[in-house]
Structure formats: C-alpha cells, structure tokens
Amino acid sequence: MKKGKVFLVGAGPGDVGLITVKGLEAIKQAEVILYDRLANPKLLENAPAECEFIYCGKLPDRHILRQDSINELLVAKALEGKRVVRLKGGDPGVFGRVGEEAASLAHNQISFEIIPGITSGIAAPLYAGIPVTHREYGESFAVITAHDKSKGGSPALDWEGLARGIDTIAFYMGVGNLPYICENLIANGKPSSTPVILIQWGTFGRQKTLQGTLADIAQKAAAAMFRNPSIILVGDVISLREKLSWFEKKPLYGRQILLARTSNGPSELAKELMDLGGDVIELPKWKKTLVHIDLEKVAVYDKILFAQPESAAEFFEALIDNQIDIRHIKAKFYGPSIKTIKALNDRGVTASLADEMPSSGSLLIVGDNSVLKNMENYELFDVMVTSQKEIDWQFMPIFNRMLGEAQIDTMIFPCSASIEPFLEALRKCDISIEEYVRNSLVVCMGKQTLAAARGAGLMDAQMPAKATKAALIEYLIENIGLEVRS
C-alpha cells in the first residue's frame, strides 16, 4: 500500500479566524486528524464528513495520549495510506514538540509538511492590547517555557540573562510556577515594579486578564484562582495596554454563548456574534446526505414552500442536474423565514413569506427529512425530500470537552425547530439542561420559538422585540450585565 502523508499544522491561539489559509486547506482534505486541547475544536467542522478524529489533549495532571503514543499513531495512520493532520494549538514549532514528531516520521520514511501557526505568546498580548515589541518600551522579546525536564518542572534558565538582557518575556503555561518565576527575575536584577499581565484563553471571547507587578502578581493570581492555559507577559510594554486595548471593548466581549444549530452549513449569526466579541459554541453538529429527487410532476403545482434555506439550494441544483428549465415551473415560491426568502432571491426568483400564502391551489413542500414536523398549519400538500439530515454524534465528545472548558452564560434558540434536537443532544451527553438554564440568559427569536421553548420546560426564556439578528444583538448588549457569571 502506498504511504500517506502527514501535515503538522499550527491551529493558532484560539480564534478560529487566525488559522492560516494553508492550515485550513489541510484540514479540509484530511482523512485523520489528531488534535490537541488548545486547538479550537470548531476547526474540526471544516474536515470531510468521514474524517476520523483522535483527541490527544494534555492537562498538567494527566495525558490522554503520551507523546510516544502520538508519534506511533502518526506513523501507523500514514502507513495505512491516510492523509493525516496533526493539529496543534498555536505554532507547532513553539513548545509544540513538532521536532520529535517530525523526527519519528522521517525515521519511518513518511512524507510530511510543517505548516506554521500564530503563536499565543504574540497573539494573546495583542488581543489584550499589548504589542510585544515597541521602540520606546521593548526592543527585545523572548518566549520561554515555564515547564521543562528539570526536577520538579521548574525551568532551569539563564535568569540573569533574561532579567538584565530581555525587555519583554512571554512565559507559556506557567501559572503554577509563577512565584518561582517572579522570585528569580527579581533576584537577578529585574525591578520588582516591572509590570506583569496574565492572559488566560487568549483570543477567545472568554479571554481573561490579570495585571500586577513582579512583586504582587503571584499573590493576585492565587487570590483570583487564575489557571492555565495562560500566557505570562513581563515587561514595561504592558503600560501601552490602557491606550491600545481593543478586543475587550467589543460589545459582546465576555459573553459565552451556546447557540442551538439547525443546519450543517456556516451560521451567519454565529459569525456576527463572534465578530462582536462573543465566545460561541454551536450545538449540535449536523450531517446531511442528498437523496434522489423525482422532479417529474414539479411543474403541476401552484405553490412551492421551501422549508429551509438549504432545501432551496438542493432543489435548484436538482433542476440543473435534470436539465429542467425554471421557466417551466408555474408555481409561486414561499418560505417560512427571511433567511429562506433570501436563499431563493439569491437564485434569481422572487418569493414571499409562508404567512402570505393563499389557502387555495396545490402545494408542494420541499425540505429535508424533518419537513413534516413543523407543517401542522397546512392541510393538503405533497412533500419532496431533498436530503436526509441527522445529528453527527461523533462530535458529541468534542462538544463535551468544549462545554467543560467554557462557562456558558447565554443560550440562543434562533427558531422553534432548533429546540428539540438541542435538548436531545444535551441529554445524550448526560448534560444537565437545568444547570445551564439556571445560570444563563435564555433568548428566543420570535413568538413561536418562545412558545416552543416554554413548552419544552424553559420557562425563563425571553425574546427581543423582533425576530432579527439586529434585534437579538441589541438585546444581548442591553442585557450584558444580566445572568453573567464572573
């Protein structure tokens, strides 16, 4: 069998938009992905549907897979002829042990590529408003591991060289060794008044910071129970933060949002929430399989109602595949939502909302296999199923880990159809919906969605004035201080 190839990819520091174009292309073509704890799991949604995911996450007190096992897996999967991606948080060459993995692949004569990523020691400070170099405050910069192979895990470094020769220092994953770091820098000549900042989950919407000096930061971190993953930045350049802070000024910064998802495509709402600083987890992940569509009688209907935006695209693609001219269809087109209307408009046809549809005339309803669940308002109709949609259960362990790292304070249901599968997914994961509801602002878009949510037991659910993205965002901003845990 022909050997496969391995791509050692830097995922960037957390914000999914910071992965490189080349890294994203590798994910899109992967057959196997071995991913770390600090690689944002949302990136896995770009992989092919049949891709195998293997979690290699590491915590200070335990390892899911040890490094030797990871090396062996990379070799084994490549020897199966697979296209393998090793997805690592930040940059694989900065404390990512990529040298060991590459050496193992080279030893076994397996082809590989290393794709750099943005390292957290630079990105996290920038998202906190701090450039790591500046002509007036810092012309030298060092990245340092705060754990090494020395006894006890305390780094054996040239402390004098760091204290006297480097303006700005970024220590990776060093909160546990913070007192040791501060003591050694002060003892070797760094002024105790030197500014220090801790940046946790840098570039995520859940990013947190804690400022102090070498003299007091360890005490502050202990009092605040500050934890990894964190960058410790030391240097006078931190004084620029007050002027240059930008990420933390976004209107939804700090919001940790659980968004109920109904489609397998990209969500414009999720993107907009993230662009405004929110930390968004979409649940559940869907997978869709197209089915054969019989278009023989499509021209006889007076009305065609498209149940979802995706069904419009699938319908028109089927027309093209079967060489049917849209002009042969006499029906007027309808959709239940503005999003579906837009999908039809994008195909060059006019459409109206389902509420405006006359009762007379023959009706065809087009949608995926869930189409009959929400059509109780229509008496006589035929159904055309364009695809089979189901929850992608292989993503549920991934969601479990994502939710375990987050502190959800907001839940959003964009439509009534999003509620039942969302609750089903949480139940399958043994996750208590009551806990999330108790600690979250529950927001529904529209009266039907609100009624469905309360019917499902979410009695504290609320809604914005209008069922639009703009109204939802305005509502979240107005309620930014409510039900949010510190």
Residue from 58, 220, 250, 287 carrying the catalytic annotation: 58
Cβ-based neighbours of 357, under 8 Å, separated by 6 or more = 303, 305, 334, 363
Known active-site residue 58: yes
How far is it, in rounded angstroms, from Cα 162 to Cα 216?
A: 19
Cβ-based neighbours of 288, under 8 Å, separated by 6 or more = 264, 310, 368, 387, 388, 389
Residue from 36, 91, 368, 409 carrying the catalytic annotation: 36
Of 423, 307, 312, 327, nearest to 375 by C-alpha is 307
Helix (H) or strand (E) holding 199: strand 195-200
The count of C-alpha atoms lying within 13 angstroms of the C-alpha of 484, restricted to the half-sphere facing its C-beta, is 17
Known active-site residue 42: no
How far is it, in rounded angstroms, from Cα 460 to Cα 438?
A: 9
* Residue 234, token pair as written in the block: 């030391």
398 contacts 426 by C-beta, under 8 angstroms = no
Number of H helices, E strands in the chain: 16, 22
For 331, which DSSP code?
P
Query: Is the C-alpha dihedral spanning 206, 252, 130, 93 positive or negative?
Result: positive
Residue from 173, 274, 384, 411 carrying the catalytic annotation: 173
Cβ-based neighbours of 219, under 8 Å, separated by 6 or more = none
Active site residues: 36, 58, 173
